[in-house]
Amino acid sequence: MTEFPKNFLWGGATAANQLEGAYDEDGKGLSIADVLPGGPKRFEIVNQPDFDWTIDKNKYRYPNHEGIDHYHRYKEDIKLFAEMGFKCYRFSIAWSRIFPNGDDKEPNEAGLKFYDNVIAECLKYDIQPVLTISHYEMPLNLVKNYGGWKNRKLIDFYERYASVVLHRYAKSVKYWMTFNEINSALHFPVMGQGLVKSNGADDMQNIYQAWHNQFVAGAKAVKIAHEIRPDIMIGCMLLYATTYAYDANPVNQLAALKENQTFNHFCGDVQVRGTYPAYTESVMNRYGFSFKDLEVTDADLKVLKENPVDYIGFSYYMSTAVNVIDKKLATAKGNLVGGVKNPFLEASDWGWQIDPTGLRIALNELYNRYQKPVFVVENGLGAIDKPDKNNFVQDDYRIDYLRKHIEAIGGAVEDGVDVMGYTPWGCIDLVSASTGQMSKRYGFIYVDLDDEGHGTLNRYKKASFNWYKNVIATNGKEL
């Protein structure tokens, strides 16, 4: 049995737009998440050529508007996290609560106050907040009127926002992340970069320009954070899908290597090492442009170089496989990435391929690549839960998934990897990012709310609640 480090950060993770609700309360502006309709077609809808960011309640439901009403129930929710013994709680600040339009000169005090309260509530129970500065919820105005992250002006807006929240909270919050799953934009640039077909998502140069702007903005946040509090830990956050070659064919092996560079490693290489990797030009050439075509200043490169992140946060749900020889192989669904079906793996209700060993590999790959601490800030099983008449869910399938992934983390610890902690995703049921469904549940806590918005919103402990409580109490000894 693995000994987890003494200060291992056991906890759970959420994002503001997926649980807070109160989308227009206390001065909050609209965010990109507020215009995403519910349902598996949400990305298809926003990528229609005539999509104009209008909220049309006669046509669609907008589940992020209500979330699970955490904005009004955060005390009850954090109390439940404390009961499980959370050492930390990862959540995000809704940018549009602080700067409703993104380009405002002054922050919205009511928004800042809300997070004062949430942080105080965590600290009351000795739960360390782990804050994501931007998690798929940029102010809509920055998308509509500035064209999203491909516009350099966003660097200044983000810097102002990051500076405000860091100055306000860093005294009591040691752990931070700059951008959630920054690399997801390769396949789905809407949530992270505010790019859809109608404002340039089809042009890969825009995506790389947007990334560059985000890298610089993130490095500026790192700089501010270190000036405020030298012992702060501010990390990047990657969507990591361990990528295998389908077989030993060297052609597939090379394809998997390239896929790893392009998807899993590119953003981290810049954010952790502070320089663009050697393969940058080759990747960009494949998309038909050159690094020289991007707007990049010497000052940008300097700020990147001087302000690498302190640790690597990443989400891990599934692995993927690459086969460029056999085009007829079945494809797999996944967390914004797919690949071909791996015959050795089973899949979740949503087709994501379950692979705990892939997590051990991911931890080794990232730590050996960067030699900086790694933090599993998302992992979990999105599943259909069937509560009994007392609203109790016997979610043994979730326990099984989590147990195997925690064992895999233990394996990586034995391999010598410096793992900071583990915050399973959606520790309380919340709105799914990719499908806008409530029925895709990850939580230890069941929330009585369905895909149509019906339900009492009452919270109920699932079987996994007490199981995870014991995992934390025994520091991972009893799984």
The footprint of ligand BG6 (CB under 6 A) covers 15, 18, 136, 180-181, 239, 315, 335, 378, 382, 425, 432-435, 440
Asked whether 260 and 244 are in contact (CB, 8 A), the reply is no
Buried b (16+ CB within 10 A) or exposed e, 240-263: bbbbbbbeeeeebeebbebbbbbb
Nearest residue to ligand BG6, scored by beta-carbon proximity: 434
CA dist 240 and 268 (Å) reads: 10
Q: How far is the CB of 433 from ligand BG6 (least distance, A)?
A: 4
List beta partners, residue 320: 243
Q: How far is the CB of 336 from ligand BG6 (least distance, A)?
A: 6
Structure tokens belonging to residue 169: 């909270």
Q: How far is the CB of 62 from ligand BG6 (least distance, A)?
A: 16
CA dist 167 and 341 (Å) reads: 47
Question: What is the chain's Cα-based Rg?
Answer: 21
Backbone angles phi, psi at 43, to 5 degrees: -75, -35
Q: What is the residue type of 22?
A: A
Known catalytic membership, residue 181: yes
Catalytic-labelled residue, pool 20, 259, 378, 407:
378
- Helix 204-228 × helix 266-273 angle, to 10°: 30
- DSSP category for residue 39: S
Catalytic-labelled residue, pool 159, 181, 259, 407:
181
Q: How far is the CB of 285 from ligand BG6 (least distance, A)?
A: 29
Smaller CB distance to ligand BG6: residue 128 or 434? Answer: 434
The CA dihedral of 134, 135, 140, 144, to the nearest 10 degrees, is 90
Structure tokens belonging to residue 59: 């046509």
Known catalytic membership, residue 159: no
For strand 175-179 and strand 233-239, is the pairing parallel, antiparallel, or unpaired?
Answer: parallel
Q: How far is the CB of 335 from ligand BG6 (least distance, A)?
A: 5
Structure tokens belonging to residue 122: 């965590």
Smaller CB distance to ligand BG6: residue 100 or 382? Answer: 382
Give Cα separations from 126 to 122, 132, 169, 415, 469 (angstroms). 6, 19, 16, 30, 15
Smaller CB distance to ligand BG6: residue 156 or 452? Answer: 452
Q: How far is the CB of 313 from ligand BG6 (least distance, A)?
A: 10
Q: Name residues whose C-beta falls within 8 Å of residue 109's C-beta, 6 or more positions apart in sequence.
A: none
Q: How far is the CB of 415 from ligand BG6 (least distance, A)?
A: 25
DSSP string, 204-244: HHHHHHHHHHHHHHHHHHHHHHHHH-TT-EEEEEEE---EE
How many other CB atoms sit within 10 Å of the CB of residue 443? Answer: 29
Total count of residues recorded for the chain: 479
Q: How far is the CB of 378 from ligand BG6 (least distance, A)?
A: 6
Q: Euclidean distance between the first and final Cα of the chain, in Å? A: 10
* Catalytic residue IDs: 181, 378
